[in-house]
Amino acid sequence: MNETNSALQFIRPEVRNSGGMGGGGSVAGFEHRMQWNENPFDFPADLKEEVLHRYAALAWSRYPTGLRPYELIERIAQHSGVTPDMVTAGPGSSSIIKAIIDALIAPGDRVVMPTPTFLLYRRFAALAGADIHPVPTSPDDDFALPVGDLIVCARTNEAKLVALCAPNNPTGTAYSSDDIARIADESGALVIVDEAYQEFSGQEMRPLLDRFDNVVLLRTFSKAYAMAGMRVGYALAAPTLAQEIDKTNLPFPIAVFSQIAAMVALENADRFRAMTGRIVAERERLTAALNALEGVRVFPSGANFLLVQLDRPTDELVRYLREEHSLLVNNMAAYPELVDCLRITVGTPEENDLLARVMGIYMRG
């Protein structure tokens, strides 16, 4: 008997036919990580000390005090201007994406999304057995949201879900709340609006919840709050919808340490807003520096990263940055629509200067 094949017969076809998570191996040891849209400025040292102090006072042998992180949910609700029954929290917004799809999608259900967009929507929908309908965007109009096409696709296919990122990952494109409101009003579907990069765009989608009960907003502490390693995300939705999503969430979904860090971050939100302002200023400075290079096009971004198109293949440049300068950027090879494109996270001023300088040398060479 072939033991491997015998074991695989028990795995669902949707899982067997999907690719692995990949990830390209460890990034340990690289000095300049500008590939994963992380915050280049760490969680402030004095606030780390406050988190450690509060955590040290607790009994580590005990589970959290509730199946849900109720105190953190209260703080998030207050910060977001909603009631606590409109908040679902989990270990990163990616886990909330999966919880929503688990709650919503059965095999054969239709899911609509613009393309290119965050790959986890396609992955989780495919694992659930969904019929996925991508709606293309175009570099000719800077990947603008094809509102009419999305609505027609959703209605024609009786889609259950429309998935949007605002701003979009990996293009950085900012979408207007009026466009998203029209999709919510006319698509006949539940609309996820992933706001992982909301703080860098200056946009506020929360008023959509006052108008539509078929909208879910996803947010995260990973980016603007410099907490990617803590894994804290949340969704805002109508109370009845949030309650149903919560049924597919994990019990004790967020580690106590991460809960404390998120609450300390919210208590010091002004400091993180100032940090976000620095990143936005660096984004504009880096955009200007890269746009000045021959053979480089930088698309408009409302996020903490830039989508950059070159007039030549990107593989050699990625290797050069990695091996010669210990600098990582994201090659967009996973997106067939983004040939010869890189996604570059906005770094510290020193990292941005380095990147612009060495890319200039490479492009001239």
For the chain, domain boundaries: 30-43+270-364, 45-269
Is pLDDT of 19 > 90?
Answer: no
Cβ 242 vs Cβ 96: under 8 Å: no
Is pLDDT of 23 > 80?
Answer: no
Is pLDDT of 212 > 80?
Answer: yes
Residue with tokens 């466009």: 179
Residue 328 pairs in a beta bridge with: 33
Average pLDDT over residues 134-144: 97
Is pLDDT of 276 > 60?
Answer: yes
Q: What is the pLDDT of residues 26-69, one digit of tens each?
A: 777 888 999 999 999 999 999 999 999 999 999 999 998 889 99
**pLDDT score, position 22:** 60
Q: What is the pLDDT of residues 190-204, one digit of tens each?
A: 999 999 999 999 999
User: Which of helix, strand or coil describes residue 89?
Assistant: strand
Q: What is the pLDDT of residues 162-172, one digit of tens each?
A: 999 999 999 99
Q: What is the pLDDT of residues 293-326, one digit of tens each?
A: 999 999 999 999 999 999 999 999 999 999 999 9
Global confidence as pTM: 0.93
User: Which of helix, strand or coil describes residue 172?
Assistant: coil
**pLDDT score, position 198:** 96
Q: What is the pLDDT of residues 320-346, one digit of tens each?
A: 999 999 999 999 988 999 989 999 999
Is pLDDT of 96 > 60?
Answer: yes
Which fold is adopted by the domain 30-43+270-364? Answer: Aspartate Aminotransferase, domain 1 (3.90.1150)
- Sequence-separated (6 or more) residues with CB below 8 Å from residue 119: 334, 335
* CATH of region 45-269: 3.40.640.10
Cβ 307 vs Cβ 170: under 8 Å: yes
Q: How confident is the model at residue 13 (pLDDT cuts 50, 70, 90)?
A: confident
User: Which of helix, strand or coil describes residue 56?
Assistant: helix
Average pLDDT over residues 112-133: 96
